[in-house]
C-alpha cells in the first residue's frame, strides 16, 4: 500500500476505535449507573432558572449587518497574525502591502458608516 493510502487507513482506524470506545463507555454507564428521575433533573436548566417563551423568537435582522462587518474584520486579524510573526523578514515590502490591505478594508468600513449601516435604527 502506498504511503498516502496508509495514512487514510490510520484515519479510518481512528474512527472505528473512537466509535467502539464511545459505545463501550456509554453502554457500561447505562448498565451500572443508578437511575433516579426527579422533577428537578428534568427541567431545562437544573440551576433553577425558569425558561420563558419559545426558543424561536424574533430579533432584529439589523444584527446581520453587524455580523457581516464583524466577519470581515475577524478575517483581517487572521491575515495580520502571520504578517506580525514575519514582520522583520518581510520588512518594508510587507508593511506597505499590509497598509494597502488595511486601507481597502477601511474604505469598506467608511462606506458602511456613511451608508448608516452602523446606526441602530
Partner 1 sequence: MSNVLAVMPEIVVTVVATLVLLVDTMLPRRAERGWLALLTVAGLLVALVSGPFVTVPGTAFNGFVQIDTFTTFSRVVFIVLAIFAVLVAPGYLARHDIPAGEYYAIVLFSTVGAMTIALSNDLITLFLGIELMSIPVYALAGMQRHDRYSNEAALKYFLLGAFSSSLLLYGFAWLYGVTGTTEFGPIAAAVARTGLADGPTLIALALVTAGLSFKAAVVPFHQWTPDAYDGAPTPATAFMSVAPKAAAFAAILRLMVGGLGPLGTDWGIAFAVLAAVTMTLGNVVALAQTNVKRMLAYSSVAHTGYILAAVAAYRAGDSAGAAVLFYVIAYGLMNLGAFACLLYFDIEGTRGATLMELNGFARQEPLGALTFAIFLISLTGIPPTVGFVAKVFVIQPVLDAGLTWLAVIIALNAVLAAFYYLRVVVHLYMHETDERSAPIISERMLNVSLGVSALAVVVLGVLPDGLYAWALQAAAPLVLR
Can you give the C-alpha Rg of the chain in angstroms?
Answer: 26
- Decide if residue 110 touches partner 1 (CB under 8 A): yes
95 binds partner 1 (CB under 8 A): no
Q: Smallest distance, Å, CB 49 to partner 1?
A: 38
Q: How many CA atoms lie within 13 A of 29 on its CB side?
A: 6
Of the residues 111, 117, 119, 121, which one makes contact with partner 1 according to CB under 8 A = 111
- Please tell me what DSSP assigns to residue 46: T
CA torsion sign, 72 to 74 to 79 to 83?
positive
Q: How far is the CB of 32 from partner 1 (least distance, A)?
A: 46
Where do contacts with partner 1 occur on this chain (CB under 8 A)?
104, 107, 110-111, 114-115
Amino acid at each position: 500500500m502506498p504511503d498516502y493510502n496508509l495514512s487514510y487507513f490510520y484515519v479510518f482506524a481512528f474512527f472505528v476505535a473512537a466509535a467502539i470506545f464511545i459505545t463501550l463507555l456509554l453502554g457500561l454507564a447505562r448498565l451500572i449507573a443508578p437511575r433516579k428521575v426527579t422533577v428537578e433533573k428534568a427541567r431545562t436548566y437544573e440551576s433553577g432558572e425558569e425558561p420563558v417563551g419559545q426558543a424561536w423568537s424574533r430579533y432584529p435582522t439589523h444584527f446581520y449587518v453587524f455580523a457581516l462587518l464583524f466577519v470581515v474584520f475577524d478575517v483581517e486579524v487572521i491575515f495580520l497574525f502571520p504578517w506580525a510573526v514575519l514582520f522583520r523578514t518581510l520588512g518594508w515590502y510587507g508593511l506597505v502591502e499590509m497598509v494597502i490591505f488595511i486601507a481597502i478594508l477601511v474604505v469598506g468600513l467608511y462606506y458602511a458608516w456613511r451608508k448608516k449601516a452602523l446606526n441602530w435604527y
